[in-house]
Amino acid sequence: MDSVWNADSLVAVRSENVDRYRRNFLRQAVCEFRFPTLLELGGPRPPPSFVSALRKEYPHLDLAKEVQINFGGEASGSINKHIFRSEKLTWTVSIKENAFSIETISYTDYAHLKDRVMHIVEAASKVIDSDFFTRVGLRYINVIDGDTDPVTGGWVNPELVSPLLSNYFTGVQEYSGRLNLVAEDGGCLLQHGIQPRQTQTGRHAAEFKWPEYLLDVDVFRNGVKISDTASAIDAMHVQAFNVFDWAIGDAAREYLSASKLSKA
């Protein structure tokens, strides 16, 4: 029987558009799994069975050193992190002594992401020496990149940007916010705000560009049995989307629903 998390009820809004949009604003999607520390995974070589399971889809393998920071902000050492990349470098899998993750900069749809995630979970479950994850996280980093003002153009929920719509302030260079929802068995975090574009150089330096708007949704659950992984990430995906769909405006929904290749 699948587990039920109290954190599932943190967001009351329900969207009817889950997995219906034809396009997305996603810059990056990440799914991370933490487990009780297994020091053997911190060695200079990754587990052979894990390498074998990932070799075809993730042929590029690198070893990185991850610096550990203590509570005082000082480096307390480093651990090995094994990184696997897809042929086109659009998907990345990493594993270390207490976590593994999969991320992409080429998100198409949830079904594809889930298939890849479950493949990694199956491979990792054979080497982590645990039948549960201490924490499972699913994060979607969305950036609204339009040809009109994302704030006044209806791309963002007015409730998120009410101070900017009030006309009480001018010359705003930065605007951001955090909505952090927590239960004993999980949580959900929305980070949002204006994201200035990188400075233009060359012949396009004088070309005006509206700022982008960041909608970063991070959902997590604690104490997830490996057998419940699929249902857990399904529930987290729905919750993340409910938050995202609440956070956007009508112009964004119209764009996401259209089949044309460029914004009007």
CA distance 236 to 219: 6
Distance CA 257, CA 162 (A): 25
Query: Domain map of the chain by residue range?
Result: 20-257
pLDDT at 199 over 80: no
pLDDT of residue 144: 95
User: Does residue 261 surpass a pLDDT of 60?
Assistant: no
Residues 147-187: pLDDT tens digits?
889 999 999 999 999 999 998 998 888 899 999 999 999 99
Instruction: Report yes or no: 109 and 94 within 8 Å, Cβ to Cβ.
Output: no
How does pLDDT run across 17-39, given as a tens digit for each residue? 999 999 999 999 999 999 999 99
Indicate the pTM of the whole model. 0.91
- List residues bridging with 60 in a β-sheet: 85
Mean predicted lDDT score pLDDT of the chain: 91
68-98 residues labelled b (16+ CB within 10 A) or e (exposed): eeeeeeeeeeebbbbbbbbeeeebbbbbbbb
User: Could you report the per-residue pLDDT of 129-157, keeping only the tens digit for each?
Assistant: 999 999 999 999 999 997 889 999 999 99
Residue-level pLDDT at 4: 81
DSSP state of 247: H
21, 221, 156, 16 alpha-carbon torsion, rounded to 10°: 40
Span 102-118, mean pLDDT? 97
pLDDT confidence of 66, banded at 50, 70, 90? Answer: confident
Residue 107 has pLDDT above 60, yes or no: yes
If DSSP codes are grouped into helix, strand and coil, which group holds residue 28? Answer: strand
User: Higher pLDDT residue, 201 or 246?
Assistant: 246
